[in-house]
Structure 1
Amino acid sequence: MTSGPAISLALAVEAGDWGDAGAIEALAETALAAAVRDLSEREGQPFPDIEPEVSLVLADDAMMADINGQWRNQPKPTNVLSFPAFPLVPGGQPGPMLGDIILARGTIEREAQELNKPVEEHVAHLIVHGFLHLFGYDHIENNDAEKMEAIETRILTSLGLSDPYGDTEPV
């Protein structure tokens, strides 16, 4: 198996108790590498010749509520938000800057507890989920959601992590 294209990661801890930033960065790099490899090999996703960059912002619930209110008119925290640098459809050629993925620590901790899974596993899932949004994958329509969830499941399975949706069959 080839290693696939590489991604440059810029990590910013903006708010919240995230603990060891180096461990989060390593987790993100592993999750992104698996996602890049999968999209390249299984979905035929092109990547630029230079290493494209992803910005990962670690926030708390208050910061996330502010961002969510400003950009989505929903002034409440959510687990992950993605902001593509440029509009992209699955299979489209991305530029050198892919975009931003923002995570909210408190929401992620609560969800991980409810799902009875380690926080790190939930963080990995949300990084992959956010990364797919940067490439134009969405889950508004059922058929799009099924496709996106199947790709997420396949990527997470390649990392030895569980199916976040419980019953999704990887495609």
Structure 2
Amino acid sequence: MTMNRRRVMTQGAALLGAVCLRAGRASTAAPLLVEMKGSPRGEAVWFVPAGLAVAPGATIRFVNRDPGNSHTATTYHPAILDRPQRIPDGAQPWDSGLLLPGEEYEVTLTVPGVHDLYCQPHEHAGMVARIVVGRPGQVGGWQGPATDAGDLPRAALAAFPPVDAILAQGAVMPPQGKTP
């Protein structure tokens, strides 16, 4: 199997996230990478990885690698566009704003639990991601995924990777048909 530079970087970020999680603390290493991508004609868009396990205190860097679209990384929260809350209680909601191709945004996640996010212009296309901070039973509490679907589109709900798969693998790639 041939590995290109981008795939090596993505898998390296996933491995680093898993190592930090198992160590039970955030690393002072470089931020973990989540890329925003799209197909050449723009008919499909996605995050890579779609699911990521990190330790509390990890910094995530979102980079728009899609040459044809602008994207956001936005948490589900009533404070942002009156969306249903899909981040742990006590976590601060965040929004990258529109990122043009090549632009990036960083956020540090400290509250344990499941943090669901989406791309504002592409949520209906299923462009969502899930970041799991810490593990169930962790000191300081841990809040699982939201159970209320709220007003989320079916494509978005179907695209969230399962929490147990994220915890087991460290990172979950997007569904088949979306090239990482």
Shared fold (TM-score greater than 0.5)?
no
**TM-score, with length taken from structure 1:** 0.31
Q: TM-score, normalised by structure 2?
A: 0.30
Higher relative contact order (CA 8 A, sep 6+): 2
- Structure ranking higher in strand proportion: 2
Looking at secondary structure, tell me which structure has more helix per residue: 1
